Amino acid sequence: MTDRYAVLGNPIAHSKSPLIHAAFSSQTGQDIHYERILVPLDGFEATVRELITQGYRGVNVTVPFKFEAFRLADETTLRAGDAGAVNTLIFNQTNVVGDNTDGAGLVRDIEVNLNRPIQAQRVLLLGAGGAAEGVLHPLLERKPSLLVIANRTLEKAQTMIAKRPTSDTELAGCAFNDLSGQQFDIVINATSAGLTNAALPIPPTVYAADGLAYDMMYGHDTPFMQQARETGAWAVDGLGMLVEQAAEAFYVWRGVRPETIPVMTMVRSLLTC
Ligand code: ATR
């Protein structure tokens, strides 16, 4: 029998997840069906309960329900607990487990696909919202020498830092205008500024000469990517992270790790045509 999965969000029409999971399914021979479901803003829990009743095996969760999914789960994985948010729910016979594959997806895209180590590098994380929270711990696990969180609202960056246990990585929180004179090997944009095509007020000197500038958004050339490219940095969008977080969810559900590069190529070709 075909196992059913879905991605839940609002809005959801733009989601590439059904396409990605369909590709994983045919590549691995796993018999699954994956659809997108538009969930009313006040109807997340009711929708999840209904899907469980119907025999679905799990769901992915996107904006704006990742925190609600965290609260709904009977149990959460360590990485979901660290993020305080859930993007993957696993419907077991007796309970609902919440996981978060976003950070693993980002780290895998940077280290494996882009072949850039994070260990011993100077990393700048821009933003202190849900997207930044979701990737902070997995980034720290890779042991960068320095990780600075810069945010428009300084207090939110400071709060994120204060919640972290001490680690070998030097950690700091700052405002954008404190970044002058600092330079980073990897700069990750986890703000939502790209959604409105807004430029970030960060000095172009933050990018090291052959540094990596990674925008967690995908599908369009953001002002952040344009600025980074103009300074000679390697500007990359978040399509790889999108596919890798999906692959990690597929692995969690099915115990099989799909190949991601051909799927990235396929999704990229659809975006550019
Ligand atoms: P998400 O789940 O996408 O992280 P969020 O939790 O609302 O969404 O966080 C959005 C992040 O993008 C925040 O860090 C926000 O900065 P503030 O904390 O100061 O609000 C940042 N952001 C959004 N628009 C921005 C802009 N135009 N310039 C700079 N930062 C922006």
What pLDDT, on a 0 to 100 scale, did the predictor assign at position 163?
87
How far, in Å, from the CA of 71 to the mean position of ligand 1?
A: 22
Helix (H, G, I), strand (E, B) or coil at 12: coil
- Whose Cα sits closest to atom 10 in ligand 1? 129
Q: Which of 152, 176, 196, 227 to mutate to test the pocket of ligand 1 (most atoms within 8 A of CB)?
A: 152
Tell me which residues have their CB closer than 6 angstroms to ligand 1: 127-132, 151-153, 156, 191-193, 198, 200
Three-state DSSP class for 69?
Answer: helix
Q: What's the pLDDT score for residue 165?
A: 75
Nearest CA owner, ligand 1 atom 7? 129
What is the CA angle 22-13-7, rounded to 5? 50
3-state secondary structure of 6: strand
Domains annotated on the chain, with CATH: 3-100 (3.40.50.10860), 103-239 (3.40.50.720)
Long-range residue pairs from 14-18, CB within 8 A, at least 24 positions apart, any chain: 15/62, 16/242, 16/267, 16/270, 17/60, 17/62, 17/246
Asked about 156 being catalytic, the answer comes back as no
Instruction: Count how many residues are written for the chain.
Output: 273
The pLDDT profile of the chain, 273 residues, written as one tens digit per residue, is 899 999 999 999 999 999 999 999 999 999 999 999 999 999 999 999 999 999 999 999 999 999 999 999 999 999 999 999 999 999 999 999 999 999 999 999 999 999 999 999 999 999 999 899 999 999 999 999 999 999 999 999 999 999 887 788 999 999 999 999 999 999 999 999 988 999 999 999 999 989 999 999 998 899 999 999 999 999 999 999 999 999 999 999 999 999 999 999 999 999 875
- pLDDT of 167 reads 80
